[in-house]
A and B are shown apart, each in its own frame.
Chain A
Amino acid sequence: MKEKIKILVVDDEEVVCRSVNRILSKEGYRVDEALRPEVALEKMKGAGYDLVFTDWKMPGIDGMELIARIKEIRPETDIVMITGYSSIESAVKAMSLGAFNYIPKPFTPNELSNITARAIERRRLLREERSKAEKTYVIFEYVMPDDLYYLPEHAWVRVGEGKEVAEIGIDDVYQKTIGRITKIDLPEPGGLVTQGNPYAEIHASGERIYQSFSPISGMVAEVNQELKRDAGLVNKDPYGKGWIARVNPSSLEEDLKNLLHGDAVIKWWLKREIIERRQENYVNVVALDPKFKFEIAAEPGGEKIRSCFACGTCTAICPVREIDDEYNPRKIIRMALLGMREEVLASNFIWLCASCYSCEEYCPQGVKFTEVINAIKNIAVREGHIPPSFITQLELIRTHGRLYPIDDFDNKKRKKEGLPPIRMEAGGAERTYELSGLKKMMTKTVRPSP
């Protein structure tokens, strides 16, 4: 497998090229070198490479431009930018141009080998994701809890109220590409961390050790003691129970400027898709409504939708999905987070939830999908999308106060059986409908979905 992976290393320092070549060749990869970016581009036009390591600062074409040009020629190539330690800003910029990752200089053979392994694993995951039935919608990267700030494919930070303490952890793409986490060497409380620099060592299956980069600078106030007992918590719940440390930030405002947040995360990923010319397989980017998730979050029950990171636990446990693949909670929530408003509201599948609450019980992020889907349905109804059977139910309750009306005949039967009569409420639920505004809405928008 490894000998099939072709790697190109581009650096004007021969010694760097040589050492990368030596380390990765020993691992069984096929490695080629280019001392000048122009040579690299010529080579790309030929056979092409799966992975390119490129220096940032080179005479003539610099690393940033090289990334853009390589992506022009071969959009599917993964690129790792070799940077100086403190240049997180340029690292994020490189990634927004389509680079897969960055590696700060100086690096160890172990770090180089691990980043290569991650790149290959990420390719495999993407291929797998895209071959699933969901491929017409989105790929896994798009959905992350969006109350967080990201160093993409690496780390996240959750800023607490008052901004005195910020929680940091690794994101789920990073976690997925390193595999099962067996141990984490946590930083010491009181120690200093710097944005973009390593602060914890993560041991994963296959005896690999990865560096975790801090998304902010500051002093470690507390570490997650639970991880000492079960480091796998990071795999299970990367944005919740799997947090790594709490930090007193030293330059938060400045640090956050280098990170991605909110809609910028989706835009960032979409841009990557466009660079890699995959957008036509996915969604019509222009038709997306980025406000849709906020609209859902403003409904009772929809509040936590933005905490979803598409782990798929809900889908795995859903009894409806077990019978019919067309119904897929994770897909619905991803479509909603992406902003596919019309597709979601007018769909029939939102009405297939059995309200069993299983997903809610197991969601690691406490998203409360059962309530989220109710929130979505409430919006759909206001827009005139309601299945006919629900209109019948609404009418029955309005006129009789109950779904199954009880008349004199029923009460006679009840009496014969020794049961007390059921008195129907005069006027049914009409008054309640008036008070809640449903009556008005029924005359205006409640009509059957096509």
Chain B
Amino acid sequence: MKYALFLGCTIPARARNYELSLRKTASVLGIEFVDIEGFGCCGFPIKSVHHETFLLLAAKSLILAEEHSLDICCPCSACTSVLTEVNKKLSEDKDLRQSVVEKLSPGKTYRFQDSIRVRHIARVLYEDVGIEKIKSQLKRQLTGLSVAPHYGCHYLKPSEIYGGFDDPGNPKSLDELIEAIRAKPVSYEGKDRCCGGAVLAMNENISLAIAEKKLKNVKEAGADAISLICPFCSVMFDDNQRSIETKFSESYQLPVLYYTQLLGLALGFDERELGLNMNKVKTAELVARLGQKL
């Protein structure tokens, strides 16, 4: 399983805990990542402002991957949806493909989705690595840990680009991944709802209120932690949890872990290797509750 690792803008600068845990866990599960020079912004932040630039930025990265004959693996859900969308569009629409390629790499031909796939890391773990393989590698039991999965929006939506993978209205892949490491997935109201991250820069009040609703629902459902798979969502629930608590006079103290961090714990890595020291809401207590390494 060899993938071009597409980190996007946020992860290398603001979510190194995600990157650390991702690389560590991948290494023991047989996923090989190739870092490609030239991968930058996927285009997501520009989509609402200038469609053509968004298209070219995404296409540029897809072309790089195709030149390396590698599928792309994204840990960020926004990058996943943008690259999947453009990959699909450019393979289906010949005229658009020709005009885009003409601008970026004149004289060459690329096949996009007919040649390379774009996959979120959670989907890679679920489909390519598989639940059984994960189970077979466990070095520590997370039994007794109740974890609320936060799917976020772009991992499964818009569903039309993902070819029927999982059900965005009633998703299960992350639940099953949590189960695979012997933790207990917790169901809660609004499980398929948004984190509010995309409006943070425009209207902090709305954004934090959306995230607060979710924290409240997770807390009420009795979860010990939230597990997520997107750096934007982590900004909302981890980085901003303190601000939300102050603003809404609440105390949540809910540890927020990337799924790869939880997985890393189950695979026997220690906290530092997984960047848990970088999580804003402290995770020490939670880790202390886990069983010993086998």
Contact = CB atoms under 8 A, between A and B. Distances in A.
Interface of A: 299-301, 319-320, 322-324, 327, 351-358, 360-361, 368, 370, 373-375, 377-378, 381, 386-387, 389-390, 393-394, 397, 400-406, 410, 413-414, 417-420, 422-423, 425, 428-429, 432-433, 435-438, 441
Contacts of A355: 48, 153-154, 198
Contacts of B35: 420
Given A357-B154, A360-B158, A423-B37, A374 B47 contact: yes
Given A353-B199, A386-B49, 15 more contacts: A322-B213, A323-B205, A324-B203, A324-B205, A324-B206, A354-B198, A354-B199, A356-B157, A357-B158, A358-B194, A390-B48, A400-B40, A414-B12, A423-B37, A435-B104
B247 to A, nearest CB: 13
A429 B57 contact: yes
A381 B60 contact: no
A417 B16 contact: yes
Contacts of B158: 357, 360-361, 368, 370
B14 interface: yes
Contact of B202 (A352, A419, A420, A438): A352
B198 to A, nearest CB: 4
Contacts of B197: 354
B225 interface: no
A436 B54 CA distance: 9
A413 B16 CA distance: 10
A320 B9 contact: no
B94 interface: no
Interface string B1-39: 000000111101110100110010000000000010110
Contact of B153 (A322, A323, A356): A356
B199 A320 contact: yes
29 contacts: A320-B199, A322-B213, A323-B206, A353-B199, A354-B153, A354-B196, A354-B198, A355-B153, A356-B153, A356-B157, A360-B157, A378-B51, A381-B50, A394-B49, A397-B46, A404-B13, A414-B12, A417-B20, A417-B275, A419-B12, A419-B16, A423-B37, A432-B53, A433-B53, A436-B52, A436-B56, A437-B52, A438-B52, A438-B53
A422 B275 CA distance: 18
Contacts of A375: 51
A378 B45 contact: no
A437 B197 CA distance: 29
B51 A432 contact: no
A401 B41 contact: yes
Contact of B10 (A358, A403, A418, A423): A403
B208 to A, nearest CB: 9
Contacts of B16: 413-414, 417, 419
Of all A-B residue pairs in the complex, the 7 with the closest CB atoms, nearest first, are A404-B13, A401-B40, A357-B157, A356-B194, A403-B9, A436-B52, A436-B53
Interface residues of B, number: 55
Contacts of B19: 419
B187 interface: no
Contacts of A327: 206
A404 B49 contact: no
Contact of A418 (B13, B20, B157): B20
B201 interface: yes
B209 interface: yes
Nearest to B96: A300
A405 B194 CA distance: 27
Contact of A320 (B38, B56, B206): B206
A368 B161 CA distance: 13
Contacts of B193: 319, 356, 358
A352 B154 contact: no
A409 to B, nearest CB: 11
A43 B201 CA distance: 62
Nearest to A381: B49
A377 B49 contact: yes
B159 interface: yes
B157 A397 contact: no
A361 to B, nearest CB: 6
A429 B41 contact: yes
Contacts of B49: 377-378, 381, 386, 390, 394
B268 interface: no
B169 interface: yes
Given A381-B50, A386-B49, A432 B202 contact: no
Contacts of A438: 46, 50, 52-53
Given A355-B153, A357-B154, A361-B159, A323 B209 contact: yes
B108 interface: no
A417 B49 CA distance: 36
Contacts of A441: 50
B51 A402 contact: no
Contacts of A320: 199, 206, 210
A402 B41 contact: yes
A374 B51 contact: yes
A432 B14 CA distance: 25
A322 B214 CA distance: 13
B46 A394 contact: yes
Contacts of B38: 425
Interface string B41-85: 100011111111101110010000000000000000000000000
A374 B20 contact: no
A368 B8 CA distance: 25
Contacts of A378: 48-51
A418 B169 CA distance: 39
A373 B202 CA distance: 15
